[in-house]
Structure 1
């Protein structure tokens, strides 16, 4: 297998893993966060790319057939999704099926996380099927802070990235509207029904106005959604214990893979806030700035003026991008928070401060563990009544997170639960969740924070 370079000529035909102009093909996206992936697909469509979110979890048997079990669980899920989707396309189209009509979109990360190898491994699997060998894999990488250069023509790529970022933050906020309202809804099911209609409307609007980046139109719809959802809250219902979820990004946001843990915690009497997708994107951008700063320092020590200038120029561009992301994120949250008291998102700087200058963990180590540990301590500072760490079985960053958080939260008498998943149903999971929620209620009673503020 040849991994094609990101600098490949845009628009060229490739069957490996590369960044290339995906215009003119059907872009297949594996679902991760339900709203976020749908809105990302709508953002692609706003820029003329025929993007489709694949059905998820129905092809898990395919994923398991072509993996050994040592892989990270999301690798099995996403591999199953693409194989299942292609099989259904073959059945639907028959002899008209042609692999070169499709592009499989599968981002990656650098560092020790196995996620960085998903697209390489899945390329090998697709190549085992002669009819799938002509399906290229397009990717984004944390190595350059998810730069989209190459996926679209150069004059459109920057604007697409901005729309994709805002769409992601909007999906985060709509999730938080659901989590704030659903536990207290006047009639069971009304929140989910309304938010599905709202999500479809937001998808259509992103596709319609995204190309011209009319963010104000998106904000107006979002504000209307928050205003209506607020009326669903029954003020007679007391405030529940608040539970913060941290952990591996795919597992904590993919309901099928985590056995719908958010809804289950709500059924047992909790109110949940899950770490956002925006938090991860901001962390990747922040880490890219840190990397460029290190390059500047090293080049200056060596007296290499050329490398120093190049790194400094990239750093300035990245810092401007980081500032723009913070501004847009705050803007979106501000629109909704004047209508409904959803939880604000954690800034990356505040998360780093909660690591206590490296005493608990350090950003230099990298991985999601830094975010999970700092995010959990941020929840603690905000008065949350329990922390759940959701992750794939054998996940290294989340295992480190567990090792650090358990003694800290035990000392502070805050309930903590590890929730590893591998697709199996563990017989003690229900008992563990019930016990955890009972402890969270005790913590809430001891803190006296059960008042309801709609």
Structure 2
């Protein structure tokens, strides 16, 4: 049984059921599943992780995080439970794992596993034959097009938009009616293009396809491109800029479609587009074609050198510890000032508005630095963390370099990527351990600050202590000296600040996108806003993300059967765990919240979202559920930049999880513009928690007395 074709009723039902800020394709999943749920025993909807065999770590062939998480989001929203069958599609290591996952689904439906394997293998073979036939049909279509002299319009869109006429309002039919040949993107010989000539990390599967298609279209005088995208599409906020660069002077159409789009408006825009490309094709002027080397996006590995000073973003306090560890191991480092309004004033002038807030804030960091130091810019190079997907974070550095180059600044940026567990910095094992210990120490200092500031005898005392002990720890790191005694002294000093007569405030956990939750400018000083509303908070530490990265690094090594890498990764992980426990022990006299292990967090996540969905969402869901189950916590706040894909996953599931555990879980969205909505939500959230406490909820604990 198949769901109906997308129609008005499906769209209306999708909008009614879905999380408001979801992209249009994800919203449609709600409507299609809802149309089936009362008609069938089971619904089959796969979790698509990687859509092809990965080509090195940098080309993972990822589906976007929302596509990965879609079945789990909708399962919770529609209460489908075990009736929703979710096999995992991950072709990164071939077909075997996917076949086994489909066999599991067959067994759940009561069929023999062997039969399930054979059916899965037959399905994969049918897909191969389809791909072969599609390539032949595409070649035939292009040959006929070239013989006839007719113009072709390649629809640069993912198949779930380009092939769904109900969702895209019949774009292909309209183009054909206007006298041009509509061509699906994957009818083109995409494998003939080396996408690595355009980007060093094309890690989304559809990104590679769009890059290759754009290159083919640009080179063929009879082909033109039409981008079909959706409001809030995360990957396209970066992919389309590269596609535009590849197209150069050639016209490129773009339609953004969502549930509000009207057919009449689409037809009008397509008519204008066809008129434009028809006129362009008739023009005889010679055009300047872009060169791949002028378009290329790529960064540099970190090379140990004393010649250049590395410029580092001040995302959070822990960056100072990392910079000190780098200096201790031979690098020269400049940590930039905290961001301010000038960051966004500059960045907003050269961005489209679709990029996430951390990208714009960090771009503003570099713009300020380059404008203020243009006369001696050759003394510096950038350094930042990165990744090979599936979040947009991995695109920051390469797009930063491109944006700066467009303004005339040659500013190389080095990156270290999470896929390598940030062990590709080339500063040696001493750096890794020293930086990790520094991060853990600053994490502990922040927890001491948040634990005591709401109860301090003298306003400002906790902040002053934090700065003092942070400075002492950073100085010790720079000299490669131990700092255990500094943490012990800090714990005693923070404890002395507290007025123990004050009642304990409701305790709230804050998680979400790591840059946003950690950067005071970007989140409008969220922690202080919560404290002003009468709450005590705990924020997911920076170390949580690193522990997750180390965990994934070990898992990936095992999956890749790289046993030497797995052994080294395991040993380093155990050493880091031991260091963390040693440093955290010094603060236990004041801190009564024990940080769960990554495996525990992922265990909580796995009840609602598969940990195989590789994004920050798996940590936020897991830590949020752990807080909801912990009687010491009164609620959860998750933060996300506007349009954040992992944040969208959390926001789409938070309301349901809140109803399950009978504790409030709110999501706050930030876009860098002045606003009061989040502050109002924080105050309402705090009042709700305090109201519940007055009605007899369990107490959240008391401050340990001397």
Q: TM-score, normalised by structure 1?
A: 0.86
Question: What SS does the aligned partner of 1:244 have?
Answer: strand
Distance in 1 of aligned mates of 2:367 and 2:345: 10
Q: Does 1:178 align with 2:178?
A: no
Q: Give the unaligned 5+ runs of structure 1.
A: 6-14, 91-96, 297-310
Describe the shift of the 1:326–1:224 C-alpha distance in structure 2 as closer, same or farther (beyond 3 A). same
Question: What SS does the aligned partner of 1:193 have?
Answer: helix
Name the structure 1 match of 2:420: 144
Assess if the C-alpha contact under 8 Å between 1:4 and 1:17 holds in 2: no
Assess if the C-alpha contact under 8 Å between 2:438 and 2:473 holds in 1: no
Name the structure 1 match of 2:318: 36
Assess if the C-alpha contact under 8 Å between 1:237 and 1:452 holds in 2: no
Name the structure 2 match of 1:266: 531
Describe the shift of the 1:100–1:4 C-alpha distance in structure 2 as closer, same or farther (beyond 3 A). farther
Q: Does 1:327 align with 2:575?
A: no
Assess if the C-alpha contact under 8 Å between 2:509 and 2:538 holds in 1: yes
Query: 340, 343, 365: which is aligned to 1:81?
Result: 365
Name the structure 2 match of 1:112: 390
Question: What SS does the aligned partner of 2:386 have?
Answer: coil
Per-residue CA deviation, residues 360-408 of structure 1 (Å, 9 max, x unaligned), is: 0111111000000000011122221010011101111111112222201
Distance in 1 of aligned mates of 2:437 and 2:390: 29
Per-residue CA deviation, residues 166-205 of structure 1 (Å, 9 max, x unaligned), is: 1111111111010000000011111111211222222222
> What does 1:88-107 align with in structure 2 at a 5 Å threshold?
88-90=372-374, 97-107=375-385
Assess if the C-alpha contact under 8 Å between 1:19 and 1:138 holds in 2: yes
Name the structure 1 match of 2:567: 316
Question: What SS does the aligned partner of 1:48 have?
Answer: coil
Question: What SS does the aligned partner of 2:445 have?
Answer: helix
Name the structure 2 match of 1:60: 344
Question: What SS does the aligned partner of 2:416 have?
Answer: coil
Assess if the C-alpha contact under 8 Å between 1:168 and 1:277 holds in 2: yes
Distance in 1 of aligned mates of 2:425 and 2:330: 16
Per-residue CA deviation, residues 209-239 of structure 1 (Å, 9 max, x unaligned), is: x2xxx4xx31111110111011111111000
Assess if the C-alpha contact under 8 Å between 2:387 and 2:417 holds in 1: yes
The count of residues paired between Structure 1 and Structure 2 equals 408
Question: What SS does the aligned partner of 2:352 have?
Answer: coil
Assess if the C-alpha contact under 8 Å between 1:30 and 1:81 holds in 2: yes
Following superposition, the deviation at residue 26 of structure 1 comes to: 1.1
Name the structure 1 match of 2:169: none
Question: What SS does the aligned partner of 1:18 have?
Answer: coil
Following superposition, the deviation at residue 159 of structure 1 comes to: 0.8
Name the structure 2 match of 1:370: 618
Assess if the C-alpha contact under 8 Å between 2:384 and 2:415 holds in 1: yes
Assess if the C-alpha contact under 8 Å between 1:185 and 1:191 holds in 2: yes
Per-residue CA deviation, residues 320-344 of structure 1 (Å, 9 max, x unaligned), is: 111111111111111111x322522
Name the structure 1 match of 2:649: 400
Assess if the C-alpha contact under 8 Å between 1:74 and 1:392 holds in 2: yes
Distance in 1 of aligned mates of 2:446 and 2:639: 17
Which stretch of the first structure deviates more once superposed, 425-434 or 282-291?
Answer: 425-434
Following superposition, the deviation at residue 110 of structure 1 comes to: 2.2
Assess if the C-alpha contact under 8 Å between 2:629 and 2:661 holds in 1: no
Q: Give the unaligned 5+ runs of structure 2.
A: 1-196, 202-297
Name the structure 2 match of 1:11: none
Assess if the C-alpha contact under 8 Å between 1:333 and 1:344 holds in 2: no
Describe the shift of the 1:44–1:378 C-alpha distance in structure 2 as closer, same or farther (beyond 3 A). same
Name the structure 2 match of 1:12: none
Q: Does 1:449 align with 2:449?
A: no
Q: Does 1:432 align with 2:701?
A: no
CA RMSD of aligned residues (A): 1.8
Assess if the C-alpha contact under 8 Å between 2:446 and 2:466 holds in 1: no
Name the structure 2 match of 1:307: none
Question: What SS does the aligned partner of 1:343 have?
Answer: coil
Following superposition, the deviation at residue 114 of structure 1 comes to: 0.5
Assess if the C-alpha contact under 8 Å between 2:343 and 2:365 holds in 1: yes
Following superposition, the deviation at residue 294 of structure 1 comes to: 1.6
